[in-house]
């Protein structure tokens, strides 16, 4: 008897019978499990086949039966895993699996594209409707905007019962300021449309300070043209510039009349070169650095229409335009309206430039008592300039030049009056001063061009109370005699 039999008190026969019995039960169980599908075709029992899970779940976790089952179950899992690995190790099987995977992936991608295409189509349809709605909305808003703007631009709503409105444009205005002023005075309805129109038509500049009286039925273009023309301004001032006024006197008068609010600014403009390109006759002035005011002599005496607080350049343009018309142009005839020569042609016949003729004319204007006197004084000035040195009178010795640019001693500023010396004083040098001392009349210019033919070298005048009677002489003795007569008359 084996040790195992002896230890457990079993006989060999008993053991053999028990083994047979177990084999018979196994065969029956095998056939039964095969019928129920618990074995694979190769005779391997399927994992967990025939196991009563409900009974297993009810087992005590610590029972020997469950422990044994767990060990068997783990073995089954390992065998299953090995079987699976062994089943895929075949190359044909791998190719089939790979082909099936690619086919499934391709089908999946195809399905995804179909879904994306469907979504894109739906999104396009939604976007299309949103776009149509937005365009329609914007179209309505834009149409309304344009309709209001066009009506205002064309003054469609302002044609009935128009009236005139007075407005004031500030200095250097912006187009926004112009628009606000027009809207505030009911000349336009919306300033933003006016500003937009002015920007689109490049009309936002060209406005000047001034007062205007404008009708309320004008369209935008008519409003811009109206306000950019100084001819439509109502703040017009009439100023009479008399013969012989110098630049300081003119500047003071313009300030008094409200034409300029800054005398120094006007004087600076009179001494600048900003007009040379527009008026070629100013280019002949070669000694501007030696003059008090470059434009002295060129502000032609006349009646002018200026605007309140006018830009000095605009004011001086009017003076110079008038000078060009009356003196320089081909229409400036020396003998009135006849077809004879012009003043310019007559000046060219002399030995003097236009600027020198104006300088002579300014002295004549300042010294002469009347038109006849102008031509005699002109002859004296020419005689001294041309051959005065031979007679000992090379200097002009004209009192009107002593205090220039001031008229008289009392006009010199008190702070410099005691020591003032004019660089135009003709008692100090031979010949003409650097430039005109005032703005001469047309008659004085003609006298400077065509003096009387005399041998006079001296002149003097009686007092204004005594009629300003002129006395001429060709020697110093006669001149002193006339001076004594004048002095006795004053006494």
CATH number at residue 229: 3.30.1490.480
Residue 297 to residue 299: CA distance in whole angstroms: 6
The confidence band for 25, taking pLDDT boundaries of 50, 70 and 90, is low
| pLDDT score of 96 more than 50 | yes
Q: What confidence score (pLDDT) does residue 138 get? A: 64
Residue 394: helix, strand or coil by DSSP?
coil
Please check whether residues 347 and 424 belong to one and the same domain. yes
Specify the higher pLDDT residue, 94 or 30: 94
Residue 178 to residue 148: CA distance in whole angstroms: 20
- Domain of residue 374: give its range: 310-456
Which tokens is 421 given? Answer: 């010396």
In a domain, 422, yes or no: yes
In a domain, 315, yes or no: yes
Please check whether residues 81 and 161 belong to one and the same domain. no
The confidence band for 51, taking pLDDT boundaries of 50, 70 and 90, is very low
Q: What confidence score (pLDDT) does residue 377 get? A: 98
Q: What confidence score (pLDDT) does residue 175 get? A: 92
Residue 10: helix, strand or coil by DSSP?
coil
Q: What confidence score (pLDDT) does residue 248 get? A: 97
In a domain, 284, yes or no: no
Give the best-scoring range by mean pLDDT among 5-14, 46-55, 91-100: 91-100
Nearest to 247 by CA among 268, 267, 274, 275: 267
Which tokens is 89 given? Answer: 């190790």
pLDDT digits (tens, 9 = 90+) for 448-481: 999 999 999 999 999 888 889 999 999 999 999 9
In a domain, 292, yes or no: no
Mean pLDDT estimate for the chain: 82
Q: What confidence score (pLDDT) does residue 69 get? A: 45
Question: What average pLDDT does range 202-229 have in this prediction?
Answer: 88
Q: Which of 64-78, 197-211, 435-449, 457-471 has the lowest mean pLDDT?
A: 64-78
Please check whether residues 62 and 178 belong to one and the same domain. no
pLDDT digits (tens, 9 = 90+) for 118-160: 777 777 777 667 767 766 666 655 555 555 557 666 666 666 6
Residue 158 to residue 217: CA distance in whole angstroms: 5
Please check whether residues 327 and 443 belong to one and the same domain. yes
- DSSP 8-state class, residue 170: P
Quote the percentage of the chain above a pLDDT of 90. Answer: 49
Please check whether residues 84 and 163 belong to one and the same domain. no
Please check whether residues 226 and 325 belong to one and the same domain. no
In a domain, 12, yes or no: yes
In a domain, 451, yes or no: yes
The confidence band for 333, taking pLDDT boundaries of 50, 70 and 90, is confident
Residue 335 to residue 338: CA distance in whole angstroms: 6
How many domains does the chain contain in total?
3
Please check whether residues 328 and 200 belong to one and the same domain. no
Q: What confidence score (pLDDT) does residue 88 get? A: 45
Please check whether residues 224 and 343 belong to one and the same domain. no
Nearest to 291 by CA among 305, 273, 275: 273
| pLDDT score of 55 more than 60 | no
Quote the percentage of the chain above a pLDDT of 70. Answer: 75
- DSSP 8-state class, residue 427: T
**Upstream peptide bond of 376 is cis (omega within 30 degrees of 0):** no
Residue 459: helix, strand or coil by DSSP?
strand
In a domain, 212, yes or no: yes
Residue in this structure with the two tokens 């179909």, named with its chain if needed: 114
Residue that finishes a domain, picked among 73, 88, 103: 88
Question: What average pLDDT does range 483-491 have in this prediction?
Answer: 80
Residue that finishes a domain, picked among 234, 259, 294: 234
- 426 contacts 433 by C-beta, under 8 angstroms: yes
In a domain, 43, yes or no: yes
Report residue 328 CA to chain centroid gap. 39
Residue 154 to residue 162: CA distance in whole angstroms: 14
Q: What confidence score (pLDDT) does residue 465 get? A: 86
Nearest to 306 by CA among 315, 295, 319: 315
The confidence band for 370, taking pLDDT boundaries of 50, 70 and 90, is very high
Specify the higher pLDDT residue, 271 or 62: 271
Which tokens is 224 given? Answer: 């811009």
Nearest to 270 by CA among 433, 409, 441, 405: 405
């Amino acid at each position: 008897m084996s040790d195992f039999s002896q230890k457990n008190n079993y006989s060999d026969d008993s053991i053999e019978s028990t083994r047979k019995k177990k084999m018979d039960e196994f065969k029956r169980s095998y056939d039964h499990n095969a019928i129920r599908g618990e074995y694979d075709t190769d005779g391997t029992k399927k994992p967990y086949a025939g196991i009563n899970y409900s009974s297993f779940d009810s087992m005590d976790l610590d029972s020997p039966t469950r422990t044994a089952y767990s060990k068997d179950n783990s073995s089954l899992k390992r065998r299953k895993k090995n079987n699976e690995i062994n089943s895929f190790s075949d190359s044909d099987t791998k190719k089939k699996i790979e082909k099936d995977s690619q086919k499934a992936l391709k089908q999946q991608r195809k399905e995804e594209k179909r879904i994306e295409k469907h979504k894109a189509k739906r999104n396009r349809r939604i976007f299309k409707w949103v776009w149509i709605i937005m365009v329609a909305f914007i179209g309505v808003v834009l149409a309304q905007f344009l309709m209001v703007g066009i009506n205002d631009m064309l003054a469609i709503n302002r044609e009935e019962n128009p009236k005139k409105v007075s407005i004031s444009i500030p200095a250097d205005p912006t187009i926004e300021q112009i628009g606000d002023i027009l809207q505030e005075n009911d000349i336009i309805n919306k300033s933003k449309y006016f500003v937009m129109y002015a920007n689109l038509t490049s009309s936002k500049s060209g406005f000047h300070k001034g007062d205007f009286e404008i009708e309320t039925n004008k369209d935008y273009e008519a409003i811009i043209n109206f306000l950019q023309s100084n001819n439509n301004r109502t703040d017009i001032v009439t100023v009479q510039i008399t013969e012989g006024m110098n630049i300081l006197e003119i500047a003071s008068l313009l300030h008094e009349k409200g034409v300029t609010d800054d005398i120094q600014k006007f004087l600076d403009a009179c001494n600048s070169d900003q007009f040379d390109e527009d008026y070629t006759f100013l280019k002949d002035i070669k000694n501007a650095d030696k003059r008090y005011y470059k434009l002295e002599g060129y502000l032609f005496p006349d009646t002018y229409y200026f605007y309140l607080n006018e830009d000095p350049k605009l004011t001086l343009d009017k003076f110079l335009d008038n000078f060009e018309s009356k003196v320089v142009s081909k229409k400036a005839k020396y003998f009135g309206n006849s077809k004879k020569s012009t003043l310019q042609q007559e000046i060219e016949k002399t030995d003097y430039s236009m600027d020198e003729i104006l300088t002579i004319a300014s002295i004549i204007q300042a010294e002469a008592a009347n038109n006849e006197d102008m031509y005699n004084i002109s002859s004296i000035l020419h005689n001294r300039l041309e051959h005065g040195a031979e007679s000992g009178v090379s200097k002009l010795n004209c009192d009107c030049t002593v205090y220039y640019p001031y008229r008289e001693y009392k006009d010199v500023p008190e702070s410099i009056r005691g020591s003032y010396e004019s660089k135009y004083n003709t008692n100090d040098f031979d010949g003409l001063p650097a430039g005109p001392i005032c703005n001469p009349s047309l008659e004085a210019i003609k006298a400077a061009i065509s003096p009387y033919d005399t041998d006079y070298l001296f002149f003097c005048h009686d007092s204004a109370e005594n009629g300003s009677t002129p006395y001429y002489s060709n020697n110093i003795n006669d001149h002193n005699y006339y001076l004594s007569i004048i002095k006795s008359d004053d006494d």
